[in-house]
Amino acid sequence: MTKSAPERHILVINDAQEVLEVMKDLLEDEGYRVTIHSTAIRDLGRIKSIGPDLIVLDHLMGEEEYGWQMVQSIRLSRELATLPLVVCTAAAKMVQDLQGHLKAKCVTVVLKPFDIDDLLIAITASFAGNTTQESTN
């Protein structure tokens, strides 16, 4: 049984509080249940307890590539491996260098600054299993 938008739960991870607040408002307006987290989650048990249907995360948190590390950890986890992931980042050069790896791991990328519609399209496509590289300016 496929979940409808109001039943779907999105976890947003970003180190910028203003980004978290904007994404929470935007996604809740679209009918999603949203949990925000201001730092990278290193304990996958925490992600499992939150129980998201999809994760939107930044590639860089602070000066570190915690987003990429989380992608790798999630994809190696038996319970979380198929969880849809959307990386929303301004680190265009870094994600370009990782493009092959991200595509192989079925991760959708939305570049900041992003158009709201592009983010929503990426989320919808990720829920549908259609992961593609989104490029926005």
Nearest Cα neighbor of 85 from 39, 133, 37, 16 is: 133
pLDDT at 136 over 50: no
Q: What percent of the chain has pLDDT over 70?
A: 88
Please write the tens of the pLDDT for every residue from 47-81. 999 999 999 999 887 767 888 889 999 999 999 99
Residue-averaged pLDDT of the chain: 86
Please write the tens of the pLDDT for every residue from 94-126. 878 888 888 888 899 998 888 889 999 999 999
pLDDT at 1 over 50: no
DSSP letter for each residue of 73-130: HHHH-TTTTT--EEEEES-HHHHHHTHHHHHHTTEEEEESS--HHHHHHHHHHHHTT-
- pLDDT, residue 104, reads 82
User: What structural domains and CATH numbers belong to the chain?
Assistant: 5-127 (3.40.50.2300)
